[in-house]
Structure 1
Amino acid sequence: MITIYGVYRSRASRPLWLLGEIGLDFQHVPVIQGYRLPDPAAPGVQINTTSAAFRAINPQGQIPAMTDDDLTLTESLAICQHIARKYGGRLAPQTLNEQAETDQWALFAATSIEGPALEMLYAQPGTPEADAKIAASVEALQRPLARLDAHLDGREWMVDARFTVADVMVAECLRYAQGNAALMAAFPNAKAWLERCQSRPAFKEMWEARLAEPA
């Protein structure tokens, strides 16, 4: 059975959403980030990214991680791709071309979207330094979002005409920038697609579980 290590308030949201789409039974170990705890090494503290038990799974001390029988993976997008290929049916690529496209969009999300989107998410507007970071993130996202918007012109989903793991992976990276209303409004196809993704019952279930966790 698959075991996912990581709280919902982390990149574990990606495989947890995907597993909800599939309806697959799995085990969930809610490993929390050590930096969120006053003393992650205190006796009796909940399992966290500094815990020896978790470091035995991922020596790098980052979440999420996954075990599936004798396989261990520690990168969220690789975890999603494995789950989709092994268990996801039509959520997985069905041809070599679809696999290549899915790989492309996973790398696109990780290298072109996630970094500046996270910078924007963590910046607190109102100071010159934060406003400069937000402006730089908006600028960095112009070309990738223009590409994504053009790709989604006349399309409902990222690959073929069906919802797939590619939509989960890209949507969860773009979500970090979703709070910038002006940026999203400039790319209406991407905005509408993200809203379609987030209207799915499995996303809503994941999001409710995320909100139920301590911030």
Structure 2
Amino acid sequence: MLTLYGCYRSRASRPLWLLTEIGMEFAHRPVIQAYRLADPDAADAPDNTRSPSFLAVNPLGQIPALTDGDLVLTESLAICLHIARAYGGVVGPTNLAEQALMEQWALFALAMIEGPAIEILYADAASDAGKATILAEAGKLMRPFARLEAHLTGRDWLLDRFSVADIMVAECVRYAQGHAPLMQAHPTLSAWLERCHARPAFQAMWAGRMAEPA
């Protein structure tokens, strides 16, 4: 059985959404980030990214991580691609061309969207410095968002059906959705993100996330 390490309030949200989408049984160890604990090394501390048992899985001390038999993966998008290829059915690739496209969208999301989007998510919109950061990072997203806007025109999903590509890209775009002018400038992309978030599997994942302490 697959074992996924990581809490919902982390990049583990990506494989958690995917696993819920395909209805696959798996073991979940909700390892949390050590920085969220007053004393992550305490004897009674919950399973966290500094716990020896988790460091034996991922010496970098980062979540998520996945074990599938002898295979150990420690990057969220690699985890999603593996699950989709091995167990995802139509959510995964059905041929080599689709596999290449899903890998391309994963790399696109990571290289072009995630960094600036996270900066927007954590910027203090009430401060002048935070406002400046948001404007600067939103500017970096104009080209990749325009690419998505054009690609999604006339289609519901990134491929010819909902797939792991939508999960991986949507989870990166989500970080920037709080900046309304950016999303309003890309209505087709915004509508696609709403479709992604309306899926029962996303809603189930999000309920798990909201149930965790912030």
1:104 matched to 2:99: no
Aligned to 1:143: 143
SS of 1:172 mapped into structure 2? helix
Aligned to 2:26: 26
1:177 matched to 2:176: yes
Aligned to 1:52: 52
Q: How many Å apart are 1:32 and its aligned residue?
A: 0.3
Residue by residue over 1:22-45, the C-alpha shift from the partner in whole angstroms, topping out at 9 and shown as x without a partner, is 100000000000001011111110
Aligned to 1:191: 190
Aligned to 1:5: 5
1:113 matched to 2:113: yes
Q: Could you tell me which amino acid in structure 2 is paired with residue 82 of structure 1? A: H
Tell me the TM-score normalised to structure 1 length. Answer: 0.98
Aligned to 1:88: 88
Aligned to 2:161: 162
Runs of 4+ in structure 1 deviating by more than 3 angstroms, as ranges, are none
CA distance in 2, matches of 1:51, 1:133: 34
CA distance in 2, matches of 1:85, 1:126: 43
Aligned to 1:16: 16
Residue by residue over 1:13-70, the C-alpha shift from the partner in whole angstroms, topping out at 9 and shown as x without a partner, is 0000000011000000000000010111111100100111100000000000000111
CA distance in 2, matches of 1:22, 1:127: 42
Report the number of matched residues: 214
The two structures, once aligned, show a CA RMSD in angstroms of 0.6
Q: How many Å apart are 1:98 and its aligned residue?
A: 1.1
SS of 2:46 mapped into structure 1? coil
Q: How many Å apart are 1:124 and its aligned residue?
A: 0.9
CA distance in 2, matches of 1:65, 1:118: 20
CA distance in 2, matches of 1:104, 1:83: 16
CA distance in 1, matches of 2:22, 2:128: 45
CA distance in 1, matches of 2:147, 2:128: 30
Higher mean displacement: 45-54 or 90-99: 90-99
Aligned to 1:122: 122
Q: How many Å apart are 1:192 and its aligned residue?
A: 0.5
CA distance in 2, matches of 1:88, 1:4: 16
Q: How many Å apart are 1:93 and its aligned residue?
A: 1.1
Q: Could you tell me which amino acid in structure 2 is paired with residue 77 of structure 1? A: L
CA distance in 2, matches of 1:136, 1:93: 36
Tell me the TM-score normalised to structure 2 length. Answer: 0.99
CA distance in 2, matches of 1:6, 1:25: 16
Q: How many Å apart are 1:130 and its aligned residue?
A: 0.9
Tell me the percent identity: 63
Q: Could you tell me which amino acid in structure 2 is paired with residue 38 of structure 1? A: A
Residue by residue over 1:74-128, the C-alpha shift from the partner in whole angstroms, topping out at 9 and shown as x without a partner, is 0000000000111111111112211111111100000100000000000011222
In structure 2, runs of 5+ residues without a counterpart are: none
